[in-house]
Chains A and B, each alone.
Chain A
C-alpha cells in the first residue's frame, strides 16, 4: 500500500498493515503472465482459425469475416460460462481469458445467469450490464475523446 494512504491511519494500524502486507502471499506475477500469454494467445489463434474458415468456406474476405468470427467466439464463451467452466478457466488464466472479447461475453452472461432468479426484466435485463456497463460507458467516453483529438490534429495538420 502506498505511503500516502497509510498516513491517515493510526500508528498501530500502520504497524499492523505492514505486518499484514509481509504475511500476504504475493500473486505469482511471472506464472500469471505466462498463463495469460498462453491462454490469450490460444484464444487469438482460435479466432484466426475461425476467420480463415469463414474466408475459405464462407466466401468472405478477411474484413467481412471479422464480425461472424467475434460472434462465434462470444457464443463459445457464453456456452462455457453456462456450463460453469469459464470461471475455472479464469482462475487459471487470469487476464488471458478476461481481456479478449470472450471475457466481455463472460461478464455479461455470468451476470445474466446470476440475476435470472430476480426476474427477466429487473433481474436479467437490468443486471446483465453490472460488470460490462462500466466497460461500455468508459469505452464510449474514451472513443469520443480520442475521436475529438484525432479530428483536431487532422484539422491542424490540414490547416498548417
Chain B
C-alpha cells in the first residue's frame, strides 16, 4: 500500500502553469506558494485584495475605453439607427458583466474550489485501489494547448483589429488593448472548468472500462471452462455451489457493513481539510477491508496460465465482486456529487458565458451585415467591418461555448454508461447473487446521474446547442428585416426632407449632416439590393 501513494498524483499537479497565469491575470485568488509546494488551493487574503484591485482597474479601464471610443465622433451616434444604437449600448457592457461575474464568483468560491480538488484526489486514490488507473498526464498537455490557442486567438483579434481598424496615431488608441481583457479572463476561467470536467469524464470512463474488463475476463474464463472436460466441470459446479450456499446471509450483512464503512469513509475524508490526515484515512480503511485486493492485479494480466484462469475471473466469486461493484458504485456516486458541486460553483459564470456567446454571435453577424451595407456600427464592434476578423471572433466565441457544452454532454453520457457496463457484468456472470447486487446498484445508479446545467435554466447538452443555433438564425433574420424596414422608412423621410430643403424651408447644420449621410445610405441600399436578390 505504501508504494501506491506516490502513484496517485493530485490532479492539480497538472495545473501549475494555468494557475500561475490565472493568478497573475486575476482569475483566482488562491495562494500561489501553497499551490507550488503542496498542490492545494488555499484561501489567501492577499490574493483576494490583489484580485479585487485588478477587477476595479479592469472595470475602470474598460469603461474608459467605452467612453473614449464611444465619443470618437458624435456623428456616428447621430447617424446610426436607434436599433443599432441600443444593441450596441447593451452589448458593449456584456463583456464587462461576464468578466465581473467570473471574478466575483471566483472570490466567493475560493474556499470550496480547493475542497473540490481534494475530493477528486480522494476519488483517485479509491479508484487506484480498485485497479482503475487514471492517466492525468494528458491533462497538462490539454491545458497547454488550450492556453496557446487562447493566446493565439486573442492576439490575432487584437493585433489585426488594432492595425486595420483603429486609428493608431493617437496615444489613446493604446487603450484598445483593454478590450481583450474580459474575454481573456473569461477564457482562463473556463479552461479551469473544462479541464476539471474532462478529468471527471476520464474518471467515469475509467470506471466503465474496469467494468468492461471484468466482463471480457469472465468471458475468457467461461471459454476456458467450456473447453474443459466434464470432470472438471462438476468439480467447478460443486465449488460454485458451496460458495453459493453460504454467501447470501453473510453477504446481506456485509453489504450493510460496506455501506456503513463507505459512508463513514466519504464523510471523514470530506470533512478533513488537511492533506496529512487524508492520507491516513484511506490506508487504514483499505487495510481493514480491502487488504487483499491490490496483490491480485499482477496475475490477472497473464491470460496464458490456463489453470489459474479457472479461479481468476472475479465475477465467479460473488463476495469479491460485490465488494468491487459496491466500491465502484460508491466512487461513481462521489464523482457525480463532485460534478454537481462543480456545476454549482461555476453556474453563474457559465450562464453569463452562454448569454454572452449567444448575444455576441448574433450581434457580430448583425453588425457584419450592417457594415456590408456601410451603415455605421458601434465603435466597440468595429471588428465586424472586416469579414475575416469576424469569422475568427465567431470561431473563438462559439468554440468556447460549444466545447463546454460538448464536454458536459459527453461527461453526462459517460456517467450513464456505467449502468450499462454494470449490467453486462451481471449478464455475463449469470448468477443469482450477482444479479441481486447488480439490480440493487443499478437502481442506485439510475437515480444518480449528472446533468450539467446553467443555473438550472437550461441543461448543457447538444440539444440546447441545436435550439440556440435555431434561435440565433431566426433573430438574425428578424433583425435584418427590421433594419431593412428602418432603412426604407429613412429613405422616404430623407427624400421628403431633401425636397423640403430644395424648397428652402429648413437648413440647419446638423440636419445637413444627417441628410448627407443618409443620402449616402440611400444610395448604397438602392445599389446593393438588386445584386443580392
- Note whether A and B form a binding pair: no
B residues bordering A, Cβ < 8 Å?
Answer: none
A residues bordering B, Cβ < 8 Å?
Answer: none
